[in-house]
Chains A and B, each alone.
Chain A
């Protein structure tokens, strides 16, 4: 058993043993939004979160190395509270198959699968995606092996799945016959969805170049796709596929292509609205960034302008509070107010109640003056009442730096955190979050990427 297989099995065991509960999310959450693009620890925290939170019903856009995705789906399928899972169009089949393979009881919850907009996700090609496709059998109950070439569904740079498997004959240098559960497909019914059922177990071999695909029973999972030409593996070995009881390939191919086109058309239609919304959002962000003329250092510099204050501090705080309520650009507005005069700056930099929410998405994380922020926090305990923190668009290490300090000082109050589009987040980050920020209610992790993925798989 390769190291990767061992790791994968451990991961599944870890999830199954209910170790998720060690992540102390205690409050109920309404929704985890967006794409979970991550490693096991991240997944585990999210799953733990969803297990414990009764009101959470939806997880959108799980994405990642397919092994991680399927393990997440596997665990989600056992989580009664999750009944709607949105996935990418190219991952959904894989996950449905995998989930049903491990759905052994009729009492297990049924999950509604859905597509999500890819616009939310990291660009294709940035990641090293490992596609993981268990063997699929067409809807004849013969139990005979019906294997075709496996595929690399979307990522051109896939690592593990560019092998081809056959039941009897294969040209692979690495072959290892194992028992693999297979799946019956009922083609019918709804577009983009199929009924799946487990029909038994059959032998299969794997000739993947990089590592073996193994399910949680230790069975090798044989990647396969219907209606596609055999494809050369990345190791340069041309795979020859021998298929028992094979249907005329042209017809099958045509059907598959039609189905694929329909799927793509549906997907495009569905995502066109989302796409325009996303574009608007991107424009908004650009505008916000253009308007972000204030930096945190402004808060620390004494102003020459001042005047005799007629209004008491508590009235001014009340006025500021009214100004900032429902302000989308709250942090910039606070700094703007602080630049009116010295007295106002003093009030703002000494009143933690003004800083219930900190939105740093309009600030550039590369040029951000962290020390100023930490000074404000240390000297005046400014962020002690913070309830919401937005680090959207920041790089993982920089976001970590801010959250580490804030979480340790005032993490218990934090109940809303947005990490939308944060790149290269580490597992440590999540650990910090789960250790110090135990009252998170709303967690936005759409389109994040994690760094540990590379450490594990490369």
Chain B
């Protein structure tokens, strides 16, 4: 945030013809230094372990796109980042994090590691909603296997990667938008897998509704 502010300030100064102040220059330098640091950090590879046991490597900055992984790394309180690379793989204990899903997630974060972080305090939800997916993201998320797609989205949600969850949600939205419920069912291959006992239990649970009907 500080970096962005300083950039704006510098531009404002330039437009008005005033020379940039020392503070603005310092902030700008700090921003550049931070970017350089992120780039350097991304060269450090860390290992992530899927629920199925597969181990995948990705850059440190890319891995930190997952809020969960970032928190885990912070908890290590490791000052020497190079030591992180030699550590045991970070386990991701959720059944959605399959080998295939984690592989795709690593591919996505490695491509998007230099994206500006999403500011949760900034109310740009509507703007983000209307944004079209990039060509790369469209190709990335266009997965034929429904189960795999759902696993990726669920895993991204577990790992708290907001950008990827949004890509998945938008993709599914595009698929079901304007379709009838039968078409949606067919597309998502939804079938009735309730046992008679389960159905009876649901019926009992919703007895008040039937009473009204």
A residues at B contact (CB < 8 Å)? 297, 300-302, 304-308, 310-312, 314-315, 318-319, 321-323, 325-326, 336-337, 339-342, 371-372, 375, 379
B199 at the interface (CB under 8 A from A): yes
CB of A343 to closest CB in B, whole Å: 9
Task: Evaluate contact between B129 and A315: CB separation under 8 angstroms.
Answer: no
Task: Evaluate contact between A306 and B203: CB separation under 8 angstroms.
Answer: no
Given A310-B150, A315-B157, A302:B129 Cβ within 8 A? no
Task: Evaluate contact between B191 and A305: CB separation under 8 angstroms.
Answer: yes
B180 at the interface (CB under 8 A from A): yes
| A-B contact number at CB 8 A | 84
In the assembled complex, which residues on chain B have CB atoms less than 8 Å from the CB atom of A379?
208
B184 at the interface (CB under 8 A from A): yes
Task: Evaluate contact between B129 and A321: CB separation under 8 angstroms.
Answer: yes
Task: Evaluate contact between A308 and B173: CB separation under 8 angstroms.
Answer: no
Task: Evaluate contact between B151 and A340: CB separation under 8 angstroms.
Answer: no
Task: Evaluate contact between B209 and A336: CB separation under 8 angstroms.
Answer: no
With the chains together, A446 CA to B192 CA distance in Å?
47
Task: Evaluate contact between B154 and A312: CB separation under 8 angstroms.
Answer: yes
B106 at the interface (CB under 8 A from A): no
Name, among B147, B190, B193, the residue most crowded by chain A CB atoms within 10 Å (CB to CB): B190
CB of B94 to closest CB in A, whole Å: 11
In the assembled complex, which residues on chain B have CB atoms less than 8 Å from the CB atom of A337?
176, 181, 184
With the chains together, A323 CA to B202 CA distance in Å?
28
In the assembled complex, which residues on chain B have CB atoms less than 8 Å from the CB atom of A308?
193
In the assembled complex, which residues on chain A have CB atoms less than 8 Å from the CB atom of B202?
302, 342
Q: Which of A304, A341, A342, A371 contacts B212 (CB 8 A)?
A: A371
In the assembled complex, which residues on chain A have CB atoms less than 8 Å from the CB atom of B102?
none
CB of A41 to closest CB in B, whole Å: 36
Given A307-B190, A322-B170, A375:B129 Cβ within 8 A? no
B172 at the interface (CB under 8 A from A): yes
With the chains together, A31 CA to B168 CA distance in Å?
39
Q: Which of A304, A318, A319 contacts B199 (CB 8 A)?
A: A304
Please list the 10 inter-chain residue pairs (A to B) with the smallest Cβ-Cβ separation, ordered nearest first: A322-B173, A310-B150, A339-B181, A307-B190, A318-B169, A340-B181, A319-B169, A300-B209, A302-B206, A340-B184
Can you pick out 11 interface pairs between chain A and chain B where the beta carbons lie within 8 Å of each other?
A300-B212, A302-B209, A306-B194, A321-B129, A323-B173, A323-B177, A337-B181, A337-B184, A339-B181, A340-B184, A372-B212
In the assembled complex, which residues on chain A have CB atoms less than 8 Å from the CB atom of B168?
315
Name, among B154, B168, B181, the residue most crowded by chain A CB atoms within 10 Å (CB to CB): B181
Task: Evaluate contact between A310 and B154: CB separation under 8 angstroms.
Answer: yes
In the assembled complex, which residues on chain B have CB atoms less than 8 Å from the CB atom of A326?
130
B213 at the interface (CB under 8 A from A): yes
Task: Evaluate contact between A302 and B203: CB separation under 8 angstroms.
Answer: yes
Task: Evaluate contact between A310 and B129: CB separation under 8 angstroms.
Answer: no
Task: Evaluate contact between B191 and A310: CB separation under 8 angstroms.
Answer: no
By beta carbon, the residue of chain B nearest A338 is B181
With the chains together, A301 CA to B203 CA distance in Å?
10
Q: Which of B176, B184, B212 contacts A375 (CB 8 A)?
A: B212
Task: Evaluate contact between B213 and A323: CB separation under 8 angstroms.
Answer: no
Contact with A along B166-197 (1 / 0, CB 8 A): 10111011001100110011001011111000
B96 at the interface (CB under 8 A from A): yes
Given A302-B202, A305-B191, A319-B169, A311:B153 Cβ within 8 A? yes
Task: Evaluate contact between B193 and A306: CB separation under 8 angstroms.
Answer: yes
Q: A305-B191, A314-B157, A321-B129 are in contact. List 5 more A-B contacts (CB 8 A).
A: A306-B193, A319-B173, A323-B176, A336-B181, A375-B209
In the assembled complex, which residues on chain B have CB atoms less than 8 Å from the CB atom of A322?
129, 169-170, 173
With the chains together, A301 CA to B206 CA distance in Å?
8
B165 at the interface (CB under 8 A from A): yes
In the assembled complex, which residues on chain A have CB atoms less than 8 Å from the CB atom of B96?
310
Given A306-B193, A311-B154, A341:B177 Cβ within 8 A? no
Given A305-B190, A310-B154, A342-B202, A300:B213 Cβ within 8 A? yes
